[in-house]
Amino acid sequence: MTTIIMILIALHALSGVFWVGSTFTLARQGGAGSEALFRPQMGAAVVAVLTGAGLWHLLHEAGFGSTEKVLMLGALAAIAAAGVQGALKKKPAVAHRIAAVLLAVTVICMVVSRHV
């Protein structure tokens, strides 16, 4: 079980870092070059969300305390970010700026969740 958790964490972190980093960069550049990164970003989003769901199932399914509430807020923000990026594909500057804020919320939630 530990090996599965380590693999899920690694995939979650790697896909999330790519997604967040590329979104922040594209937001800063006004969406320039977003066409080339759309599919990789959405692929990373899917991997991040699915591995996050797997981690939730393995590590947090038993209860719904403060930690889980904060993680759920982060997960919802990430899902919303992916939705915004997909829905506003034709307006990349707006899409990436909104998604960057939502993904910042996601990262903050993951970082502080163990301390609430």
Mean pLDDT per block of 10 residues along the chain (116 residues) reads 95 98 97 95 98 95 91 97 95 97 98 94
Give the integer Cα–Cα distance in Å for 60 and 114. Answer: 12
Residue 34 confidence (pLDDT): 93
Residue 1 confidence (pLDDT): 78
DSSP class of residue 114?
A: G
Please give the C-alpha separations between residue 99 and each of 5, 12, 48, 59, 106, in angstroms, as whole numbers. Answer: 27, 18, 15, 27, 10
Residue 52 confidence (pLDDT): 97
The model scores a pTM over 0.85: yes
Residue 115 confidence (pLDDT): 95
Residue 62 confidence (pLDDT): 83
Residue 108 confidence (pLDDT): 98
25 burial type by CB count under 10 A (0-12 exposed, 13-18 middle, 19+ buried): middle
Residue 70 is encoded by which pair of tokens? 């904060």
Residue 14 confidence (pLDDT): 98
